Amino acid sequence: MKKKVVAVLFGSVSSEYEVSLMSATSVLQNIPREKYDVVMLGITKDGRWLEYTGDIALIQPDQWQQSGHVTPAVLSPDRSTGGLLRILPDGRTEAVRIDVAFPVVHGENSEDGALQGLFQLAGIPYVGCGVLASATCMDKEVTHILLEAAGIRTAPYRVMTRPMMERFEEMEPALQKSLGYPMFVKPANTGSSVGVGKARDRAGLKAALQEAFRYDRKAVVETAITGAEVECAVLGNYGDCTASVVGEIVPHHEFYDYEGKYLDDSTDLYIPARIPEPVSKVIRQTACDAFAAMGCTGLSRIDFFAQEDGGVVLNEINTLPGFTAISMYPKLFDAAGIPYPELIDRLIQLALARAAEQ
């Protein structure tokens, strides 16, 4: 049987560029080569698209661009191309066929529907959620609105925009009254805890908002929920959902921040989570309910708070979660009996199945 050609994309114009390099390295090291031929396509921080043919080990330290193994290449929206247009030194182009794209990218311009729209135009099957689900899950305010409409509990929240900071002193009492300290402040459209802060008082709230507005014009301010931080990985298309075991995160920092996720060993992981089985069952079902309500396909990692009274509060939905060697998404499915290479294969097959239905 002829191998499928998979384009693995990494990098991108995103605050999570470095995370993508780590994730892509792990995916490239684990993709079943007996089933798939791989094309590596890197996107630089300034938005250049380069086909990479060098050593996988040079991707994570961000040395791939200087390796001498890059060629300008773009994903053509013209469906007759069938994939990439490789731009040769003499200016000519040649087509590179792609059967499916695996975007191992995170954050803005990556998992917010923008890249997915390009795949859609090009007629190339791709791993992960479609344009609408990617966009709505990326925007934390919209996620709150849709999940609440579906009857899924989330933290109480308010939205702030950059212009509102001019009236911060008069608005802060209302935020304090409705949410109470401590509060979490999050840029509406980033992931990996980029720009996220915890505010314990008025000064801390102002500082956290200013930091969030470095990354987005809109910030979501949420009540800090007390409970175990747990995560559930989801695999499937539309209503067909497989939920992993539930894992627990115990950060040693103030919260599960960027450093704790990717840069140090300051976070303890427990798989399965140290919560009662009935609560775990509710979390797994709620994860599938949220996956369906948001119109997700392929994969998502869904984060919750498990409260001592048995209550479950959904925190966030991540449509292209971290795929590093220490990331929870592959770890959770590995604990559920689906090892990393098989997980990648399933995701690719889900992408091809979804495209065949359209």
Model pLDDT for residues 219-265, shown as the tens digit of each residue = 999 999 999 999 999 999 987 899 999 999 998 766 544 554 445 56
Find out whether 204 and 248 touch, Cβ atoms under 8 Å: no
Rounded Cα gap, residues 343 and 30, in angstroms:
10
**Distance set, CA 137 to CA 108, 193, 224 (Å):** 12, 15, 20
Q: 């080569």: which residue's tokens?
A: 33
Angle, helix 140-149 to helix 277-293, in steps of 10 degrees: 110
Of 278, 284, 327, whose CA–CA distance to 302 is shortest?
Answer: 284
**Average pLDDT estimate for 173-198:** 91
What is the per-residue pLDDT for 262? 46
**Average pLDDT estimate for 190-202:** 86
- Identify the bridge partners of residue 37 per DSSP, sorted by sequence position: 5
What is the per-residue pLDDT for 256? 47
In sequence order, which ranges of the chain are alpha helices (DSSP H)?
17-30, 114-122, 131-138, 140-149, 168-179, 202-212, 258, 277-293, 328-335, 340-357
Q: What's the Rg (C-alpha) of the chain?
A: 21
| CATH numbers and ranges of domains, the chain | 4-126 (3.40.50.20), 137-153+226-357 (3.30.470.20), 157-223 (3.30.1490.20)
Q: Which two tokens stand for residue 327?
A: 């990331």
DSSP 255-299: SS-HIIIII-S-EEEESS-SS-HHHHHHHHHHHHHHHHHTT-EEE
What is the per-residue pLDDT for 264? 52
**Average pLDDT estimate for 274-284:** 98
What is the per-residue pLDDT for 265? 63
**What pTM was estimated for this model as a whole?**
0.92
Residue range 63-121, pLDDT digits in tens: 999 999 999 999 999 999 999 999 999 999 999 999 999 999 998 888 999 999 999 99
Percent of the chain with pLDDT over 70: 96
